[in-house]
Every structure is written in C-alpha cells, then in structure tokens.
Amino acid sequence: MDLHMGRIAKVQEMMRSTAYDALLLGPTPNMFYFTALQTSPDERLQLLIIPAEGSPVALLPEMYLEKARSVLGELFRIESWSDETDPFKLAEAHISAIKGKCLAVDNTIRADHLISMMKVLPAAKFDSAGPLTEVLRARKDEEEIRLLHEAAKMADAVMARVQGQVKPGLRERDLVAIIEAEYKKVADDLSFKPIVASGPNAAQPHHSPGDRLLEAGDFVIIDCGAIHKGYCSDITRTFCLGRATDQMKDVYRAVKEANAAAFRALETNSSLSGAELDAVARRVISDAGYGPNFIHRLGHGIGLEVHEAPYLVEGNDLPLHQGAAFTIEPGIYLSGQFGVRIEDVAVITEDGPRFLTAFSRDLVEL
C-alpha cells in the first residue's frame, strides 16, 4: 500500500477503536505526515477531514487546487473555495455529513479557525488529536530514520565547520550568522534559530544571542539543527575558548558522563520510560554535586518537528520503543558563571539504540 494511504488507514483504524468520528488537520506537520502536501499556513482555512469510515476530503483555497491535485491524487476528494465565499459553511456541510460528533483536532491549527468551526458545529465535541497523531509519528519507519540520519549528518558537518570559526572578539550574533550560512549550504533549512550562548549567558539554556563579544575563558554553547526533506536534527556542543578551569572541566565531565550514561542505559534496556531515562542522567549530575543546576528535562522527541513526542521527563512513564527518535541533552547551568550542554539525537532501531549525531563529545579548548 502507498505510504500515505497506509498512514490514513492506520489512523482511521485507531479512530474506530477510540470512538473518534473524524480527524481534522490543518496546514501543519501532520498534514505533511498523512499526505506529503506542504502549503503555507495563513488566515485562509485549509482543512483535511479524515472520517473514521469513508473517504477523506480536503477543503482548500482555490489557489492551492493545482498543487493539491498533483500531491493528493487519489488520497482525498478535493473541494476548493474562493476568497468570496465562507469556507466554514463548506466545512460545516462536510463535517455534519459524518456519522457521529467526536472530532479530533490537529494540535497546532489556528485558534480563530477552531473557534469558527465550534460556532458552525455547536453540537460537536472537539478534542485534541494528539493521542492519535503523536502515537503514529513517534514510531519512525526505516525511511524516516534514514532522513533523520541525513539531517543529523548535516548538523555534524556544520558543527565541524563552525568549530574552526569560534574566535574571541566575535559577537554571539556574528556566530549565529556563520551557522546560518553554513546550514544554507547543505540543508533545506534550519530546524530553529541557532542558539549561541557565551560566558555567563551560557547559564541560560535558551539564551537569545546578542552583542556580547566572545572572550578567552568562555564556554560557548552552540545549539542548532537542519531540516532535510521535512525531518529535523538538533545538536548542542559546548566549546571552551582558551583554557578551561578545573571547575569548568569538572562540570563538563559530569554533563558528558550524563549523556553517555543515558545512552548506555538504553543499550541495556531500550524500553525504559522517558522518566526513567531522565532519572539516569539526572543521577549522574546529582552525584557530581550539580543536581539543582540541571534545570530542564533530558530530551524531546524529534521528527517532522524539532520538539515532539516522546518527552524524556519525569512523569512520562510510557516505555520507549523501536522507532522512537529523541534528543539526549543534559546540561549544567551555573548562574552568572557559565553553562554546559551536550545534545545528541538518538533513535531506537531493531538492533538497539543508535546515536544519529556523531560529532566528538570531548572537551575542546580552542
């Protein structure tokens, strides 16, 4: 069966066993996952209706008709609407025709679109589609893993090229521009705006790069990633400009060991839960005396979105499984002084866990 037809059939089967009557998707990564169609999300309604039984329908602005016909082909019946008409009347007509009233709604569609649909369908029950879409997307197939690996190799290559350009006197934002230019040479796009955090700024995990000049004695955190054919990568390395102090070396060692310990734990048991894996890394950092300084979860799933299920965090007791792809990114942040984070993308294959990013995790003094 065709890849996308298979995914649609699977979600229809899930809906029938969970009492959802239809899945409503907007122009999001979910639309790409189920159809390969990619459009620009804006104020015009773009709605894919996948009923639990029967044929899916795509309601799209007329301007996307030609593209939709070539991509959606046999998958969807396509209905277009022109700018002079009210697309929510069309949505109402199609959704009312479905048996049942429980609608699973794509997580990241526009709120104004959802509110308009709620107004034209007052009797319907709207629920999050997360339990359907996240479960499917969290199991990557071989081709998806191959694309994630390609994206990870691009991140490795850029990190290698950037390492040689980290110099005292550069502003953080200059280094961001260098990273962006390097990704543009090799990847379709960047998976997010790169983070460059130097010196005391590196104590903030999501620092916004600014005018601070890099100087000798800084730890410089670089966090960035590629998009390749829709799939994301995400890597963080922390370089030292000049010589690291004993305390800097101690912190770096603990973060590196936490990253390695999480991977080893998966080698022993690749169906640990997200919470258990987080705890493994957290224990290493606590034992080194920096427990309160590891101020975020261990990692997040990665795929068509740079952050998606499964999350490696206390409270997520679902076991990881074959096809799960996620980051392992322990960090230690000492307010006003410095920070260290080492982030890799890992995937669980049928032969066990595998790191997709491979750039050296050793301390480098530039």
35 binds Co ion (CB under 5 A): no
CA atoms of 197 and 175, how far apart (whole Å): 10
Segment near Co ion (CB under 5 A); pick from 42-50, 262-270, 274-282, 324-332? 324-332
Q: How far is the CB of 302 from Co ion (least distance, A)?
A: 7
Strand partners, 328: 344
191 binds Co ion (CB under 5 A): no
Q: How far is the CB of 306 from Co ion (least distance, A)?
A: 7
12 binds Co ion (CB under 5 A): no
201 binds Co ion (CB under 5 A): no
Q: How far is the CB of 345 from Co ion (least distance, A)?
A: 8
- Contact string (CB under 5 A) for Co ion, positions 331-360, x = contact: ------------x-----------------
CA 101 to chain centroid, in Å, comes to 31
- Contact string (CB under 5 A) for Co ion, positions 87-126, x = contact: ----------------------------------------
Q: Output the six-digit token pair for 365.
A: 């003094």
Q: Output the six-digit token pair for 176.
A: 């961001």
234 binds Co ion (CB under 5 A): yes
SS3 of 341, please?
strand
CA atoms of 263 and 355, how far apart (whole Å): 8
Q: How far is the CB of 322 from Co ion (least distance, A)?
A: 22
Written as one letter, the residue type at 68 is A
278 binds Co ion (CB under 5 A): no
CA atoms of 135 and 13, how far apart (whole Å): 13
Out of 172, 223, 257, 344, name the contact with Co ion by CB under 5 A.
Answer: 223
Report the candidate in 325, 338, 342, 240 with the shortest Cα–Cα distance to residue 284: 342
Write down the H helix ranges in the chain. Answer: 3-18, 29-35, 65-72, 87-96, 111-120, 130-137, 142-163, 172-186, 246-268, 274-287
DSSP structure class, residue 127:
E
Q: How many residues does the chain have?
A: 366
Q: How far is the CB of 234 from Co ion (least distance, A)?
A: 4
Task: Kindly report the number of other CB atoms within 10 A of residue 345's CB atom.
Answer: 26
327 binds Co ion (CB under 5 A): yes
Looking up tokens 């101690």 gives 250
Query: Closer CB to Co ion, residue 7 or residue 341?
Result: 341
| 176 in Cβ contact with 192 (< 8 Å) | no
Q: How far is the CB of 146 from Co ion (least distance, A)?
A: 21
Written as one letter, the residue type at 352 is G
Query: Closer CB to Co ion, residue 201 or residue 236?
Result: 236
Segment near Co ion (CB under 5 A); pick from 41-49, 98-106, 228-236, 347-355? 228-236
Strand bridging mode 22-25 / 195-198:
unpaired
Segment near Co ion (CB under 5 A); pick from 155-163, 200-208, 221-229, 330-338? 221-229
Residue 310: is the preceding peptide bond cis (ω within 30°)? Answer: yes
80 binds Co ion (CB under 5 A): no
182 binds Co ion (CB under 5 A): no
Q: How far is the CB of 12 from Co ion (least distance, A)?
A: 32
Q: Using CB under 5 A as the criterion, which residues of the chain lie in contact with Co ion when the complex forms?
A: 223, 234, 236, 327, 343
